[in-house]
């Protein structure tokens, strides 16, 4: 392996895995003294972009797609069921029980250890490069136990939590960037490596784009709180439509908006009274709560909806 270009290194217990540009995967079990080629791939020139370890399984992103080993690198299997067209995988990350893969199709997600993959692109704003077409390439992913970040080809950063069904664009005001080369999370801080140096921001201070309610709401609406995750406070917006009044003589409807912990115990009451039709904003102070997942629930007449929020300290 002395002449190989090593693109990625990952360590699992006493095993050191080296991904190479053109030579596949090498393994050392004696602190790098000796190396064995344990995966040469299906192509004459196989290159490895990344590794991620989930439990006892080692995953690698390559031009063959996602490959994995469950026996300390002795045997490797290609896991590409569900991939639509572009199988080359540039980046992998794990959050909770899910695995995310960045490709030229966008992001794929697997809930069953790589057996089946599904595209997960809802919310992305992919760039249009004119005659070159639309780029769906995602080459940087990073995650912790609560959230996942993805970098698109036009250097936009998107974020979702494990409990959300779409990506949201992250506001990057003050970031002097033309090219994002890397991204990482350490504790409660997001680090972004750019052509202008390293930019960092507390996760609790990141703001994502949210849908703006109409001036005259035509239906009930409970928006996602923002920022989310947050520390110590967040904002919740909700709307009450004109047609929500239960009789023509009424001018308001009873509205309840409460926060619950993961065990269903009420921890805060934000709204509990009559409200006229219109758009409302409530600020929730979570300074007395411990880090974790909470739920906020709105009830008004026959309408009820529950959403999740994350306290991150």
Average pLDDT, the chain: 87
User: pLDDT digits over 263-292, tens only?
Assistant: 999 999 999 888 888 888 888 989 899 999
The closest alpha carbon to 270, from 228, 238, 231, belongs to: 238
Reply yes or no on domain 6-205 having CATH 2.130.10.10. Answer: yes
Q: Which two tokens stand for residue 220?
A: 């009930």
Give the chain's largest Cα–Cα span: 84
Read off φ and ψ for residue 205, nearest 5 degrees: -100, -5
The closest alpha carbon to 245, from 271, 207, 217, 268, belongs to: 217
| CB of 98 closer than 8 Å to CB of 109 | yes
Q: How far apart are CA 179 and CA 176, in angstroms?
A: 9
In the chain, what are the domain boundaries?
A: 6-205, 221-311
Q: How far apart are CA 215 and CA 228, in angstroms?
A: 24
Give the contacts of 38 (CB within 8 A, at least 6 positions apart).
24, 25, 26, 27, 69, 73, 74, 76
Q: Which two tokens stand for residue 231?
A: 């520390």
pLDDT at 281: 87
DSSP collapsed to 3 states, 164-210? CCCCEEECCCCCCCCCEEEEEEECCEEEEEECCEEEEEEHHHCCECC
pLDDT at 96: 85
Residue 212 confidence (pLDDT) above 50: no
Confidence bin at 181 (pLDDT 50/70/90) = confident
Read off φ and ψ for residue 268, nearest 5 degrees: -165, 145
| CB of 12 closer than 8 Å to CB of 58 | yes
Domain 221-311: assigned CATH number: 2.60.40.1930
Residue 97 confidence (pLDDT) above 70: yes
């Amino acid at each position: 392996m002395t002449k190989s270009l090593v693109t990625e290194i990952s360590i699992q217990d006493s095993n050191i895995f080296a991904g190479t540009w053109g030579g596949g995967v090498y393994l050392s079990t004696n602190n790098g003294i000796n190396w064995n080629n344990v995966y040469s791939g299906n192509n004459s020139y196989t290159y490895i972009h990344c590794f991620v370890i989930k439990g006892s399984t080692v995953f690698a992103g390559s031009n063959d797609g996602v490959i994995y080993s469950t026996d300390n690198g002795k045997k490797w299997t290609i896991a590409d069921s569900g991939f639509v067209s572009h199988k080359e995988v540039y980046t992998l990350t794990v959050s909770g029980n899910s695995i995310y893969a960045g490709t030229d199709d966008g992001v794929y997600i697997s809930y069953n250890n790589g057996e089946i993959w599904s595209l997960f692109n809802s919310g992305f704003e992919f760039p249009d490069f004119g005659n070159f077409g639309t780029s769906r390439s995602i080459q940087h992913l990073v995650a912790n136990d609560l959230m996942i970040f993805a970098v698109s080809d036009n250097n936009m950063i998107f974020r979702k939590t494990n409990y959300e069904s779409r990506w949201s664009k992250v506001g990057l005001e003050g970031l002097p960037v033309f090219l994002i080369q890397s991204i990482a999370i350490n504790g409660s801080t997001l680090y972004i490596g750019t052509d202008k140096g390293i930019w960092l921001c507390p996760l609790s201070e990141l703001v994502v784009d949210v849908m703006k309610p109409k001036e005259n709401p035509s239906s009930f609406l409970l928006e996602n709180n923002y920022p989310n995750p947050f520390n110590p406070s967040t904002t919740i917006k909700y709307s009450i439509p004109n047609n929500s009044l239960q009789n023509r003589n009424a001018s308001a409807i009873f509205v309840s908006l409460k926060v619950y912990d993961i065990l269903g115990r009420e921890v805060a009451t934000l709204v509990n009274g009559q409200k006229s039709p219109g758009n409302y904003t409530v600020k929730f102070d979570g300074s007395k709560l411990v880090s974790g997942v909470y739920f906020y629930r709105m009830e008004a007449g026959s309408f009820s909806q529950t959403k999740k929020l994350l306290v991150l300290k």
